[in-house]
Amino acid sequence: MIRIPQVRVVDEEGAQLGVMPTPRALEMAQERGLDLVEVAPMAAPPVVKFLDFGQYKYELTKREKEAKRKQRSVTFKEVRLSPKIGVGDFDTKVNRAIEFLEDGDRIKVTVRFRGRELTHPELGRALIARFADRVKDHGIPERTPLLEGKSMHITMASTHKPKSHDAPSPKSVDEANGADATSVPATQVEAAAAPTQTTEAKPAPEPVSTGE
């Protein structure tokens, strides 16, 4: 329920109708068979819009799910080596590590020692140094090689941005409803995080499964 006596009104097409008494804005919304939704409560006066509230909430939920789907967390991948690894296998491991780093992932390069190999940790350090040099255009070591038990490892951070990591910034409420992007000031639109319904909301349609 909007308790402010006056509001700035935007119609369902995005056109600004100006500042008017709240009861009059509510009456106009009802005449059009729509709800009066507060889209910028922190503005002075608050900005309201004529909307189908159920459809509005459904579209907001849909956009939030799509943004989450496109987000991608940085993952941690491990590449395992041995002191006696062959040239071909070493090159394969290097290429695989480069793929991980190009995707924006961090990698853990581990050298596993067997038997008497553990008495020569310098072989592990040299191998890790050679590996790090091969991938230096794609990642940087985060620490010096660390010997733990029968293995030695380092972690490397990617110099590339994670693919699809940056979710698209949500459109403003007016843009989402086909309005001119300049119809409502950006500072007002940004305050639309918690829309308030002032008339009885129509039930939201069941979301259509997208197979996510």
How far is the C-alpha of 59 from the C-alpha of 66, rounded, in Å?
10
Of the listed ranges 66-75, 102-111, 178-187, 197-206, the least confidently predicted one is: 178-187
Amino acid in the structure at residue 123: L
Q: Which two tokens stand for residue 54?
A: 């159920």
What lies within 8 Å, CB to CB, of 137 at 6+ separation is 159
Supply angle C-alpha 40, 41, 44, rounded to 5. 90
* Helices 121-134/87-102 angle, 10° precision: 50
Model pTM score: 0.45
Higher-scoring residue by pLDDT: 163, 17 = 17
How far is the C-alpha of 38 from the C-alpha of 59, rounded, in Å?
16
pLDDT score at 21:
92
The distance of Cα 132 from the centroid of its chain, to the nearest Å, equals 30
For 101-156, write each residue's pLDDT tens digit.
998 889 999 999 998 898 899 999 999 999 999 999 999 998 888 888 899 999 99
How far is the C-alpha of 37 from the C-alpha of 54, rounded, in Å?
11
Phi, psi at 18, each rounded to 5° = 90, -175
**The pLDDT of residue 201 is above 80:** no
Q: Where does the chain hold its CATH 3.30.110.10 domain(s)?
A: 76-158
**How many residues comprise the chain?**
212
For 159-176, write each residue's pLDDT tens digit.
887 765 444 444 433 433
How far is the C-alpha of 188 from the C-alpha of 194, rounded, in Å?
12
Higher-scoring residue by pLDDT: 197, 60 = 60
Q: Which two tokens stand for residue 79?
A: 């590449």
How far is the C-alpha of 146 from the C-alpha of 143, rounded, in Å?
8
Q: Where does the chain hold its CATH 3.10.20.80 domain(s)?
A: 6-69+172-197
Task: Report the top-level CATH class of 6-69+172-197.
Answer: alpha beta
What is 76-158's CATH superfamily?
Translation initiation factor 3 (IF-3), C-terminal domain (3.30.110.10)
83 and 111 Cβ atoms separated by less than 8 Å = yes
Q: Which two tokens stand for residue 167?
A: 């979710």
164: left (phi over 0), alpha (psi -120 to 50) or beta: left
Amino acid in the structure at residue 76: F
Sign of CA dihedral 188, 191, 195, 199: negative
